Every structure is written in C-alpha cells, then in structure tokens.
Structure 1
Amino acid sequence: MNRQQLDELRRALQPFPEGAADSALFNDYLAFYGLDFPQAAEYQSGLISSGGFQLMTHYWQQPGAVATLLLVHGYYDHTGIYDKVIAYGLGRGCNVLMFDLPGHGLSSGEPAVIDDFADYGDAIADVLGAVALPELPLLAMGQSTGGAAITEFARRYEWPFDRVALLAPLVRPAGWRGVKVAHALLKPFVATLGRTFNQNSADLDFLAFVRDDPLQCHRVSLRWLGALKRWLKSLPLADLGVGPALVVQGRRDGTVDWRYNMGAIAKLYPNSEIVYLEEAGHQLANESTAIRASYETHLDRYFALQPL
C-alpha cells in the first residue's frame, strides 16, 4: 500500500464498530500489515472519539476466550506493525483490543505530535469505555511510549487491569539532558527534526519493512518533546497504587535511558518483576523470534496464559 491509498482509507473510516470491513481497500490494509487473523471468529474496527481525536480501533474476538488483552504501541508505531504481539495474544486464547494513538497510524492528529501526555491516558480510557468487553480478566501490555500512556492512565483513572506488562517502558529517553538542551535551543526556530531509523531490533526484516512503511512519520516533533518534558516534570516518582507490573527491558536498548527508567518504574509500580534481556534492543514488540520467545515465557507465567 502507499500513502495515497492510506489517506483514502482514513477518509472512508466509520465509527466503531462499523469500520470499513466491506471495503476492498481496508481488506488490502489488513493483508498488507498481516492483521487478518483466521483464529479470530469476530473482528470489529472503526473510529472512537477521544477529545479532539478519532482513534482507529481494532478488536479481535475468539470463542472461549480466557482474557482480554489491551495493547498500547510506542512512539512512531501503530497497530499494523504489532502483528506479532497481536498473534501472541490470540495464540494464548485472548481477545485482543488495540488502537492507534493520536497522530499515529490511521488515527487523526498531526503525525507523531502530542501537546499533552494526558491525551494518551484519555485515549486508553475512551477506548475502554467505548468497546463492550466481556466479563473476563483484563490484561494490558504497553511498549515504550505505550508504557508511559498506561502510567498516565493510572494517575487519573480507576485501574481496571488484572495484570500489566511494560516492554521497554518510556520514562526518560536516552541522552535526556542533551535532548532538553537541544529542545530549548531549537524550539524558537524549528518545529521538527529529521528522524534517524536506529537498529533497535535484531529482526532485520522488520527494520527493512519499517523504513518503507507508508504509515511511518519521518520527523521528530519538538512539540512532542515539550509535552514529554512537562509530563516528566509533573510525574511524582511514587506508588501509583495500582500494584506491580512485569517489566521487560533489553540491555542493548539505546532509545530510552533504561537504567534510570527501571528505578523510576520500581517506584511507580512497587514490587514489580523486571526481566533483563542481554541481547534485546528497544523494539521488543518486533524483536527476533528467539528474543521474543525468551520473554513470552515470562508473559505466559505472569498473565497465567498457555499457548493454544
């Protein structure tokens, strides 16, 4: 697919759960990103309102589901490149709910821009409020900025999750002091900077795909960095009162300041279990098969799930 086709598809999307299931273009989108999972007996999609945004939402259901798994993606990411994590949930007997954050994927909003991290927390709340979920255990998993979104949600909403896993969660990015200085110096003069595609996964096929992915943004927003600065300043490193989390962190992660972040997460989610992966980079949702298998065993145990 190309950007023009995806822009056309975005304009044709309907409110959840009507989506655009009868659209050949939408079916092409599902096939292009590998989102047409045969094990899902029912699939719903469409737009959910959240503040001034329209969030593209996907919900895969299967008979005899043992839980519902909410997935929250990272910065620059979208549902289309989380096919492996969606397959993990479905392969463990879960219904899977996922949406594109504001400014990402097929959701509305300026690409990769946010002015307040509260919008990320609100997005989770509004999606959970709009989808009729069955009476099953509710699990959540967030990658990078998705973890920050879950943390922001925890600050302001009643906690609905039975268990939560955080993959390489964002608190501070790598080189944060330099980033803050650069942001202060450049903000009066430029709105964005060019994005560098880092080798953040051992899956070389994924790295090649994401560079050509038509839903990727190729700029770094200084407004997003400003929102991150304000969020960190407002975030007390104290118990959120929602219980522990399972945290998975790669030691080859050069995207986030994981040494600082693990200490912060331990304060926000006391008694959390932290699993370090020696060979893993930042993009844990799209790591190599071997690395994903190594942490999926921890997810299975923590979530009390079994492969079908």
Structure 2
Amino acid sequence: MISTEAEFYPNGNWLTEKQLEKLRKGLPAFSLSEASELEENLAILKQQYLSFYNIDFSVEFPDLELKHSMGKIESGEFELLCQAWQPTKPKAWVLLVHGYYDHMGIYQHIIRHLLSAGYAVLGFDLPGHGMSTGERASIENFDHYAEALKKVRSLLGDSELPVHVIGQSTGCAAIMNYLINNDEPAFDKVLLLAPLVKPFAWDSGQWLFKLLNNRINSMPRRFAINSHNIPFMKFLAEQDVLQPKQLSVPWVAAMKDWLERVDAIEEPCTKPIVVIQGTDDKTVDWEYNLPQIEKAFASVKVELIEDGRHQLVNEARRYRDQVFALIDHHLEAH
C-alpha cells in the first residue's frame, strides 16, 4: 500500500541541474511589487520547477489570489534565490530559513500550511544551497548566513504587517546569530525548529574532523534517515537534483566555530524565542543544545514533539500536524 505522503512527490526526474542553472541565471532581480515577464523558455522552466517541487500554490489556492515572486538578490559575494507568496490580504509575513542541505523547494508543507492560515511567506536559499550561488553546502563562517537573513529581511522594510521568522536546524543558527548580534527589532515572533548548536555525536566524531581538516575539502554525504516521512526521504536521495552529494569540511569548521561562540555567550539576548524539538532527533544533540540556547536567550519556550525526528517541517503527517499546531498557537499568541 502506497503511503498518502507519496502523493506529494513527483514520479520520475523532470528537472536537471543544467536546466535549473539556466533558470537561475535568467531570473531577474527579486521584487515584491513588480512582476517580471520571463522569456517563454524561462517561464516554462520556472513552471517546471514549481510543479516538480509541488509549490505552485497559485493553482492550489485560487481563492487566495496569490502573487508569486521569484528572483535574485546579492548578499556579499553570494547571489541568493528568493521567493514569496502573497495573498491579497495577509495577516502577517513569515520569513522561512531552511536547514543544511535543504532549499526552499522542499518546504512545500510548511509554506502550504502558512498560506492556508492567512500568512504571506518569504523564503530564500542559503548561500551554497538550492539555486543560490556559493560552493555547494559550504561556508567559511556562519556570519554569512546571518548576513543573508538580514538582506532578505530588508526586502520587507518597515512593514505595516507583523514579520515573523521560522527556522529549521542550520536556519535556526542563522536566526540566533542574527538576533545575538543585531539590536534592531526585525522580527515579531521567532520560532526555531530543531535548532543547530552542536550536532549529534559530535564529541565522538571530532577526531575525524581534526584528521580531515586541512587535508581534504569534502567527503561523500550519507543520506541519514532524519524523518519518519519515507517518501520524502526517498525523494531527497533519488530525485532532488539540488541535494548536495558531499559534506563540506569547511562547513564543519564553521559549525565548530558557531558552537564555540554560543558556548562563550555571557550576556543573553532579550528577544523571546520558541523552540520546537523532536525527542528522536539524531542530527542535533538537542539535550545539550537546549540549555545552551536557554543560556544565550533570556526567554525560551520549549515545546517537545515526542518521537519526532530532525526534519520537523518534513516529518510524517502525525508529527507534522503537531508541529504546525504549535506554530499556529505561537504565531497567534499575544
């Protein structure tokens, strides 16, 4: 019997890296207000991209009269792929920040949920991920992620609507880094899903990192089963051409630096945050991370998803529904 989850993912490989690179190069500068007309071949590629990743929400939600924007912005040395879905009368903006190896294309479930709840959604591919530029799944310093988030947040300016932010894993590190080092009130509500400080089994694996560092630049990626959603895991490993195939050693070094910086924090950030964490997460060391986050932030509300794995935005429905119910609750809370 085929799981109903399988219906969310395509049969076959419709897209190639070459096609997506052609689309990326041909996209205009990102704009929330002006819709850019694409050449016919690029318009076809864009539609193929939206259909392949099941994020063509203008077709799915015709009553919302959605406006979809897609284009590029610059952040330092990187060119970031940005997307937005705007209903005619949204109640707030939600900015999404994805995790390591991820990209906005695979976040269909949370985008769908937020749109159906009345929010406008803004997201982007982190440097080195998806259709943003940069060495694949690599970064010299996590500050580049925080700078990218700051650039994308600036697209909304002094919005009349509330602006919330939701991160997953490494995306949470970008958000926390941004909040710790910026005083301006950029976000109303902050929700962190399976936040990264220290990875699972890091202490036992440091010897390998020390051996590899400065000797090789990357090693083959192992596709870990970090969700109960097996059709999603199969899609990542077999069909998603935007999935990096290597673990970047420089990224691990940057992550180690991030871990040490969080450990050294003495003055907590005053911005209240919510952490949603699965108890069967074997990607991050959540039992170590939660106290570290509570030391770094003065007000932390922790919500645990019993038996939930790491990919909370792409978990099996029984877990995903719990995550989305908590997101609804905290975004609506006064």
Taking structure 2 as the reference length, the TM-score comes to 0.87
Separation in 2 of the partners of 1:223 and 1:62? Answer: 40
Alignment of 1:44 onto 2:69: yes
Give the secondary structure class of the aligned counterpart of 1:161.
coil
Q: How far apart are 1:295 and its partner, in Å? A: 2.0
Match of 1:27 among 16, 34, 47: 47
Q: Which residue of 2 aligns with 1:109?
A: 134
Task: Structure 1: give runs of 5+ residues left out of the alignment.
Answer: none
Choose 180-189 or 235-244, whichever is displaced more: 235-244
- SS of the residue corresponding to residue 142 of structure 1 reads strand
> What residue number does 1:11 align with?
25
Provide the residue aligned with 1:2 in structure 2. 16
Please say if residues 154 and 240 of structure 1, whose CA atoms lie closer than 8 Å, have aligned partners that are also in contact.
no
Q: What aligned pairs does 1:177-216 form with structure 2 within 5 A after superposition?
A: 177-212=203-238, 213-216=240-243
Structure 1 counterpart SS, 2:127:
coil
Greater alpha carbon shift after TM alignment, 237-246 vs 282-291: 237-246
Partners of 2:158 and 2:88 in 1: CA distance: 14
Deviation at residue 129 of structure 1 after TM alignment:
1.3
Q: Is 1:269 equivalent to 2:300 in the alignment?
A: no
Q: CA deviation at 1:214?
A: 0.2
Q: Which residue of 1 aligns with 2:195?
A: 169
Q: Which deviates more, 14-23 or 250-259?
A: 14-23
* TM-superposition CA deviations, 1:161-211 (whole Å, max 9, x none): 111111000000011123332111112321111111111111111011111
1:29-58 Cα deviation digits (max 9, x unpaired)? 111111111235211111010000000000
Deviations 1:216-264 (A, max 9, x none): 0010000001111122223334454342211111111100011001111
Q: Which of residues 227, 234, 255 in structure 1 aligns to 2:261? A: 234
Given the superposition, is the C-alpha separation of residues 131 and 108 from structure 1 closer, same or farther in structure 2, using an over 3 Å criterion? farther
The alignment of Structure 1 onto Structure 2 pairs a total of residues equal to 305
Aligned CA RMSD, in angstroms, stands at: 1.7
Distance 1:56 1:15, change over 3 A: same
Report the secondary structure of 1:154's partner residue.
Answer: helix
Counterparts in 2 of 1:115-126, with a 5 A limit? 115-126=140-151
| Stretch deviating more after TM superposition (211-220 or 19-28) | 19-28
- Report SS of the residue matched to 1:96: strand
TM-score by length of 1: 0.94
- Mapped to 2, the partners of 1:50 and 1:178 lie a distance apart of 35
5 Å-filtered alignment, 1:41-80, equals: 41-80=66-105
Do 1:159 and 1:242's aligned partners in 2 also have CA atoms closer than 8 Å?
no
Partner AA of 1:284 in structure 2: L
2:57 alignment partner, SS class: coil
What SS does the corresponding residue of 1:16 show, helix, strand or coil? coil
- Of 144, 147, 159, which aligns to 2:169? 144
